[in-house]
A and B are shown apart, each in its own frame.
Chain A
């Protein structure tokens, strides 16, 4: 059984945010209005966070692209009263929108703040609906949503592999953010498969996991900047 994970090289990330937009495009994440954004209600399953240190002219800034960590021990799934969020056999933490009651307990339980709530229904104009991805649902108002490692792509890739009668290859299943990254800062694959790049990278001495001390065992690894 695969165990999907991600390695993000902070030395390579230039903070261009292509991953953010690619994620929104892939997963039908609607932009909210100005007023809503001002209230802090914008959603971005993948979010590039900036970490600034020091004052001019000795400032440093690093960008942390932050998807769902897909923890092996996710605090969010334990608290969900209706099993709307769960971890599957391959380590992907899923969110079942059709079951979610919108209590936002998981959002509070997640120390990484990767759960987003649909305060209103998504605002897509008639024209914009044309570009919605038919593989991913459009979440209604009142439910939590989050990064799924583009799980639908895994489904498709597996389907293709099966149709062609072959094994799933590393490059078959890559989330949208990984696909688009112009500097290849995000690497994705099966952590348990020695032929996948992430398998070796996760043991790199530069590796850092966010809030590892909480015992959540995130499957998103960061490679610390070298300097």
Chain B
């Protein structure tokens, strides 16, 4: 209020003003971070994507079985892991742990890493099954990771979706994704 006039008067302490602005700025950043930040996603085992994809040559659909027909790609369950890990694979401690966990009947519940806001309706079927998009388009180099990332590699927000839709000449109708 009357900032310039006050400066002209030269009686307002600069420290006072800049100090409070600084505090407001910091508080704003803290609030924004707290409100928007997502907690890290812990996984039951340290899954090595690169080993499974690049080295063993498994395709994504092997574990994410619903990727071409479901809304969600699906996460592997203990059964899928048991196919190979019933016996310990390799020498790593983690591989041994997987075998032990499976033997103990641990369900190995993997958690969704890429989560969309609940008001976004996305289906893998449409994007992967029908439009045949590549996984890395949205998931980045997830197949190259050697340990489970704690946070998504790509920030998928509305702009991200819209940019691609525009490029591809796809629908920009709100109803297409929000309902």
Contacts and interface: CB of A to CB of B under 8 A. Distances in A.
Are chains A and B native binding partners rather than an unrelated pairing?
yes
Scoring B125, B174, B175, B178 by chain A CB atoms within 10 A of each residue's CB, the highest score goes to: B175
A88 B178 contact: no
Interface in B112-126: 117-119, 121, 123, 125-126
A94 B126 contact: no
Contact of B119 (A89, A94, A97, A151): A97
Nearest to A94: B175
Which of A136, A148, A155, A162 has the most CB atoms of chain B within a 10 A radius of its CB?
A155
Contacts of A89: 173
A52 interface: no
Interface string B163-179: 00000000001111011
B173 A98 contact: no
B119 A159 contact: no
B130 interface: yes
A88 B174 contact: yes
B129 interface: yes
B175 A148 contact: yes
A136 B129 contact: no
A208 B126 CA distance: 39
Interface in A145-180: 148, 151-152, 155, 159, 162-163
B26 interface: no
A182 B149 CA distance: 53
A159 B121 contact: no
A96 B177 CA distance: 10
What DSSP secondary structure best describes chain A's contact surface? Answer: loop
B104 to A, nearest CB: 30
A155 B123 CA distance: 11
A162 B130 CA distance: 7
A152 B121 contact: yes
B174 A96 contact: yes
A98 B123 contact: no
Given A88-B173, A134-B71, A135-B121, A96 B178 contact: yes
Contacts of A86: 174
Contacts of A163: 125, 129-130
A162 B131 CA distance: 9
A92 interface: yes
A134 B120 CA distance: 11
Given A159-B125, A159-B130, A163-B130, A137 B174 contact: no
Interface in A58-105: 86, 88-89, 92, 94, 96-98
A124 to B, nearest CB: 14
B125 to A, nearest CB: 7
Contact of B175 (A92, A135, A159): A92
Contacts of B174: 86, 88, 94, 96
Contact of A137 (B71, B130, B173, B179): B179
A71 B33 CA distance: 42
Nearest to A161: B130
A41 to B, nearest CB: 22
11 contacts: A94-B175, A94-B178, A94-B179, A135-B121, A137-B119, A137-B179, A148-B179, A151-B179, A152-B121, A155-B175, A163-B130
Return the 6 tightest CB-CB contacts between A and B, nearest first. A98-B119, A94-B175, A88-B173, A96-B178, A96-B174, A151-B175
